[in-house]
């Protein structure tokens, strides 16, 4: 890997180490390399580099190093400076890699190959339109590397990311987080744009995917989270992760552009108000799925910047926990088995369900079922089903919030249903619909932002919510928000068949003992 000590490189090193790769970093210094990475010392990359030692025994090459985009560049030959590191060096490395028998080279390019703005989502088939020396150098490198791959047999894959964010991000994104954290009023409420972004954890996963995928050789791919945001939506997401209200003022776009011209910040205003969207369908059709949601990425980014990560934070660099391949395989198999099992249980328990519904109907006015929006996998809202245990028109609050406020809305029948956990049985419908699992994190309200943000930062939102779970059987409403997230994160790290069976056993003991799981 070239560029292993950089923003993307540090995350990618850890991802590859976790997946069993031996990683060799060709760099001047080993100072910023993660533990476990083997360092191969190199001098100035723009000079005459002998790559043979670095490539000895290497099967795959990732080139991340770049002279990044510089505002108001004062270099006497900007294009030449960009070409030296962004074009000439990776091409020389690719020639040496092909001669050394390397199988695959992944080159990290940029969406700037296609320009600065778009009126619609760009695809890989759109003609390149770089507007600055940085974009030109990346486009020239893409062409030269792909052509070299054709002539030498080296499998070359090019990735074009948009704005990359994550723990340790700098420049404009860091300034935005700082402004929101300090409560600075931002005159961007009236902006109506849409921009693609990619979380560094998703980008690292995509690079790892293209390293071994046979269908990505010789191709160029856009890569992004998939949730394009407007500037106001991004600010609200950052504010939510910080636990602060967004201070957005509506100012017409023409006034923002006039101010940009006056203050010589036209480029910054264009990026804040303009749209730049990419279509990642090609990479997804190749089989790649981003492991982290945008909300998870923002939460981890903000937590790392603001030192908000509590002791359940999953990794030292702030990245959410990524499921291991065996865990992903287990969850796929589990999901395939749960739906028919839920259908069978609904039929088996039909007499109990009908009798419970009749008792609820006769004992208090109101519907039999209680429905409410909850946060599902990726914090996507879904409607949860439960037997109604509260009086009609009870406040839409969590059980613990009502308890803290001294509100008692549970009916006598509802108390029995909760104590025996019979009120949870209709959630079998949610399992049948694929919205829940038998075991998983507790279904959180969409308004429980501390829990949702904590889960996103820890990566827990990769899992579907469960009828029961570790937090449910070990405290539930008696736990603080941080403790709930800590136990959810513990389950995420250890999710497998044995863990699920132990939780189900604990659930049955709790139910049969008359304690319920709340």
Query: Which of 134, 165, 199, 382 is an active site residue?
Result: 134
Axis-axis angle for helices 294-306, 449-458 (nearest 10): 90
Q: Write a three-state SS string for 473-490.
A: HCCHHHCCHHHHHHHHHH
Q: Is 165 a catalytic residue?
A: no
**What is residue 36's three-state secondary structure?**
coil
What CA–CA distance (Å, rounded) separates 294 from 302? 12
- The Cα 466–Cα 435 span in angstroms is 9
Cite the DSSP H helix spans in 84-170: 89-99, 133-152
Which token pair is 151?
Answer: 């002539």
Among candidate residues 271, 286, 287, 295, the one with its CA nearest the CA of residue 328: 287
Query: Would residue 2 be called left, alpha or beta, if left means φ above 0 and alpha means ψ between -120 and 50 degrees?
Result: beta
How far is residue 282's CA from residue 251's CA, in Å, rounded to a whole number? 37
Question: Per 3-state DSSP, what percentage of the chain is helix, strand, and coil (rounded to 5)?
Answer: 45, 15, 40
For residues 251 and 361, what is the distance between their CA atoms, to the nearest angstrom? 54
Other Cβ atoms closer than 10 A to 29: 11
Non-local CB neighbours of 199 within 8 Å, separated by 6+ positions:
164, 165, 166, 225, 290, 292, 294, 296, 297, 300, 301
- The sheet that has 219-222: what strands, in order across it? 60-63, 104-108, 155-160, 219-222
Cα separation, 158 vs 407, whole angstroms: 58
Going 297 to 302 to 305 to 309, the CA torsion angle's sign is negative
Q: Which long-range contacts (CB under 8 A, 24 or more apart) does 326-332 make?
A: 326/496, 327/495, 327/496, 330/495, 330/496, 330/497, 331/463, 331/495
Burial string for 143-182 (b: 16+ CB within 10 Å, else e) reads: ebbbebbeeeebbbbbbbbbbbbbbbbeeebeebbeebbe
Beta strand 104-108 with 60-63 is: parallel
3-state secondary structure of 373: strand
Q: Annotate 9-27 with b (16+ C-beta within 10 A) or e (fewer).
A: bbbbbbbbeeeebebbbbb
Catalytic residue numbers read 134
């Amino acid at each position: 890997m070239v560029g292993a000590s950089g923003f993307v490189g540090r995350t990618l090193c850890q991802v590859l180490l976790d997946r069993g790769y031996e990683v060799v970093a060709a760099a001047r210094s080993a100072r910023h390399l993660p533990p476990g990475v083997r360092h191969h010392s190199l001098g100035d990359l723009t000079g005459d580099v002998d790559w043979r030692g670095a490539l000895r025994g290497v099967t795959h090459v990732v080139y991340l190093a770049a002279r990044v985009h510089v505002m108001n560049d004062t270099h006497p030959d900007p294009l030449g400076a960009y070409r030296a590191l962004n074009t000439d060096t990776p091409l020389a490395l690719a020639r040496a890699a092909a001669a050394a028998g390397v199988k695959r080279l992944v080159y990290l390019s940029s969406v700037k190959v296609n320009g600065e703005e778009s009126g619609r989502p760009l695809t890989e088939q759109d003609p390149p339109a770089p507007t600055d020396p940085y974009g030109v150098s990346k486009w020239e490198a893409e062409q030269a590397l792909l052509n070299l791959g054709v002539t030498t047999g080296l499998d070359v894959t090019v990735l074009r990311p948009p704005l990359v964010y994550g723990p340790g991000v700098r420049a404009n994104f860091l300034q935005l987080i700082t402004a929101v954290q300090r409560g600075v009023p931002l005159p961007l409420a009236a902006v109506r744009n849409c921009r693609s972004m990619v979380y560094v954890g998703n980008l690292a996963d995509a690079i790892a995917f293209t390293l071994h995928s046979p269908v990505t050789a010789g191709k160029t791919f856009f890569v992004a989270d998939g949730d394009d945001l407007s500037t106001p939506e991004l600010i609200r997401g950052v504010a939510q992760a910080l636990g602060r209200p967004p201070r957005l003022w509506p100012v017409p776009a023409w006034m923002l552009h006039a101010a940009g011209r006056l203050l010589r910040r036209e480029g910054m205003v264009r990026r804040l108000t303009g749209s730049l969207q990419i279509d990642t369908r090609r990479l997804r059709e190749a089989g790649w799925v981003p492991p982290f949601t945008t909300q998870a990425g923002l939460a981890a980014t903000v937590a790392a910047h603001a030192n908000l990560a509590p002791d359940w934070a999953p990794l030292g660099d702030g990245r959410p926990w990524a499921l291991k391949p065996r865990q992903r395989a287990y969850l796929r198999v589990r999901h395939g088995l749960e739906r028919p099992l839920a259908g069978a249980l609904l039929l088996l328990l039909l007499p109990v369900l009908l009798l419970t519904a009749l008792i609820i109907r006769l004992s208090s006015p109101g519907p039999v079922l209680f429905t409410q929006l909850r946060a599902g996998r990726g914090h996507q809202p879904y409607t949860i089903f439960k037997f109604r245990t509260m009086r009609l028109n009870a406040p839409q609050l969590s059980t613990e919030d009502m308890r803290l406020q001294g509100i008692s809305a549970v009916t006598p029948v509802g108390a029995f249903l909760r104590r025996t956990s019979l009120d949870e049985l209709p959630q079998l419908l949610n399992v049948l619909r694929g919205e829940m699992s038998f075991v998983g994190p507790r279904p959180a309200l969409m308004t429980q932002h501390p829990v949702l943000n904590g889960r996103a930062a820890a990566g827990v939102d990769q899992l579907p919510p469960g009828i029961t779970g570790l937090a449910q059987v070990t405290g539930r409403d008696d736990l603080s928000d941080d403790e709930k997230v800590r136990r959810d994160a513990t389950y995420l790290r250890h999710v497998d068949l044995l863990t699920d069976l132990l939780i189900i056993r604990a659930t049955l003991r709790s139910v049969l003992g008359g304690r319920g799981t709340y």
